[in-house]
Chains A and B, each alone.
Chain A
């Protein structure tokens, strides 16, 4: 009887052992629904990077990685269900890939002590780690995007955009309205005229907005779009013969899927970015060798090197580097969510580290701290080359108006802290 019990106990430990050792990075993906065209490449990039680490390096610090995928359809309710159904698996960090889902998960994940990383989306004031201890949005946020776009236009105009007319075409939602306050503040500083043009979801009909642009002839159009709104806006801009080089989208309006439907006429359209584009990085050799050639590529394996794939891969890389940092801090490969949070808060990305990972010059250098969960906010600009069918980086990562953004972050996070009885501080 004793022998039987001992055997069962050993078997149980052996069975449970590998599960305990797995580092779990849930992927809240959307491979179906109206935003699938953007969700699929991101999810593929996220999964493929972790597959690469498992196949090439045996995981992170010797611990294998598991990426349970849960389909959200970009639906907030489903996203919360995905969170609830996967958090018990030992989830280390959530990357919701939706501002709506992020807003819903912030209080839940904070209560559960599981960090959230909303890279380039979500609640911008989460950059203040003294209030949002479990939420990170490095390396750039929406307000960096707005400021980055204006800085780029300043560069283009010799530092003076006074009197220039700038139109913001935006998704009429919380996401689309994010840059307005920043742009209004920057308008006071730089003296440009700002016109706001909201587009209702989903954005298939934008004739009124583009007729207004045709009438008023703004010098520049900035777009905060998503999904079908992007494709229609670019097509409408082509229709009214708006100069593409004066049309700049945020990073969620700058993928291949956004420009390809408009064909050759989309040539010259620009988009902001906080990471590299294309496949010209050594890591792709390893992805080919360890992931694609072994038949382990996520999805159909046909998205490699696209903008959203690169973004998903970058998100996974930052998560993996934070996990490595957590392992170093706590001296164990078996980290939990709280240790992961520590790793994220102590994350340092240097060019030497990026080069060693096969991603030289792919993203900016930055260091996360309790006070700064948002990273450096460096923003670059890419431009679509329709003939070559690829995006090119035309402006390196440049600083944004950190004084203004810092002030806005402080205001918004203070309001959140007051509403939720949070005592800001680092401990």
Chain B
């Protein structure tokens, strides 16, 4: 096979992997939008907050240490112990559930029935609050994320040598085998499990059906005894969990730092393409965006346009979909009768 073809396949495969990572971020948006009609601007910051909390727990960091030290003249930074990753993940999930409760109790409970734009504005405020709160709680320095479930079994880094070696013979001397990041493979598996679990939850559990009922018509759901408060806390908790997963996967690449909150930018074209209300849509949208932008960069962007076309292409593709299918590939068509 020609090297050009093989490298195109490599770019395609890496686009799929990148798409999965975009989809992980988009999933959180979909969950909340589906259940409450809120476009959660704070989803990216939730990923940052979750990842910072996880690393903080792992490292035994004292929360609000800077504030405590400045106020009381102390010099505390660390409890002196390190938590096992699994325990730290469990505690972080609890924190995200508490955050969901707090968001519902102090923000959205007071905004029930308000226009969607008001709810959206509230999430912008929430994003800024959470950014500052995360900094205050855990500090602004870049933190290394090492997630290990047992001795010697951690989130992998680097290219997958097995795939590289197995495929090296497909081309000539100028082909070095397919490069696939091991972390991306893990992310893809996690995303598949997550989507399957979320779909199963929504279809086959009582709470899942209640969640869908609230999404369809929250007043009708209320009239048959579904607790709106509980469902919203449930949905924000699920979005918090998805944010934690996205924060782990992206944080393992770049270190846990403020820029994690900007990964939301990668989710927007995915949502436009896949639809705001479809969990499978987030995955398919992510894959299309990932593959599309990588192939465009490889075949057209880098050789003819000077490169760095990926962000531009993702939004252009999303814009095209908006023109021909405003609800996205899998979104529900909104028909309003007068």
Using CB atoms and an 8 Å cutoff, list the residues of chain A in contact with chain B. 31-37, 40, 172, 196-200, 202, 204-205, 207-209, 211-212, 214-215, 227-228, 231-232, 235, 238-241, 257, 260-261, 263, 265, 295, 300, 302
Contact = CB atoms under 8 A, between A and B. Distances in A.
B306 interface: yes
Contacts of B73: 295
B66 to A, nearest CB: 5
Given A231-B255, A235-B254, A261-B144, A211 B262 contact: no
B253 interface: yes
List the 3 closest pairs (A to B, CB-CB), nearest first. Answer: A261-B255, A228-B259, A36-B140
Contacts, number: 116
B257 interface: yes
Given A204-B253, A211-B179, A37 B142 contact: yes
Given A198-B308, A211-B10, A263-B144, A36 B258 contact: yes
A208 B298 contact: yes
A312 B294 CA distance: 39
Contact of B159 (A33, A172, A227, A241): A241
A40 B77 CA distance: 17
B182 to A, nearest CB: 9
B254 to A, nearest CB: 5
Given A40-B140, A232-B254, A204 B14 contact: no
Contact of A208 (B254, B302, B306): B302
A260 B142 contact: yes
Contacts of B301: 208
A200 B310 contact: yes
Nearest to A212: B302
B140 A37 contact: yes
Nearest to B144: A261
Contacts of B311: 200
B158 A238 contact: yes
Contacts of B65: 300
Interface in B1-60: 7, 10-11, 14, 17-18
A200 B77 CA distance: 36
A212 B141 CA distance: 31
Contact of B262 (A34, A209, A231): A34
Most buried by A among B14, B132, B140, B262: B140
A389 to B, nearest CB: 12
A240 B159 contact: yes
Contacts of B307: 196-198, 208-209
Nearest to A230: B254
B55 to A, nearest CB: 11
12 contacts: A35-B258, A37-B258, A40-B140, A198-B306, A204-B253, A205-B310, A207-B14, A208-B297, A211-B14, A212-B302, A261-B145, A265-B158
> Which one of A34, A257, A265 has the greatest number of beta carbons of chain B within 10 Å?
A34
- Which of the four size classes fits the interface of chain B? 35 or more
A412 B263 CA distance: 37
B56 to A, nearest CB: 15
Contacts of B142: 37, 231, 257, 260-261
Interface of B: 7, 10-11, 14, 17-18, 65-66, 69, 73, 77, 131-132, 135, 139-142, 144-145, 157-159, 176, 179, 181, 250, 253-255, 257-259, 262-263, 266, 294, 297-298, 301-302, 306-308, 310-311
Contacts of B69: 300
A32 B253 contact: no
Given A36-B135, A198-B307, A204 B259 contact: yes
A184 to B, nearest CB: 14
Nearest to A207: B14
A238 B254 CA distance: 12
B66, B140, B181, B254: which has the most chain A beta carbons within 10 Å? B254
B300 to A, nearest CB: 12
Given A207-B18, A228-B257, A238-B158, A215 B7 contact: yes
Contacts of A202: 259, 262
A36 B135 CA distance: 10
Nearest to A217: B176
Contact of B259 (A199, A212, A215, A227): A227
Q: Taking each of A232, A260, A300, which has the highest tally of chain B beta carbons within 10 Å of its own beta carbon?
A: A300
Given A198-B306, A208-B310, A212-B302, A34 B176 contact: no
A231 B159 contact: no
Nearest to A302: B77
B255 A260 contact: yes
B11 A37 contact: no
Contacts of A31: 140
A346 to B, nearest CB: 38
Given A204-B253, A204-B254, A211-B14, 12 more contacts: A34-B258, A208-B11, A208-B297, A212-B302, A235-B157, A238-B157, A238-B158, A240-B159, A257-B255, A260-B144, A300-B69, A300-B139
A152 B107 CA distance: 57
Contacts of B140: 31-32, 36-37, 40
Nearest to B143: A261
Nearest to B259: A228
B132 A32 contact: yes
Contacts of B131: 32
Contacts of B144: 260-261, 263
Nearest to A35: B258
Contact of A239 (B18, B158, B294): B158
A196 B254 contact: no
Nearest to A235: B253
Contacts of B297: 208
Given A31-B140, A36-B258, A198-B307, A204 B263 contact: yes
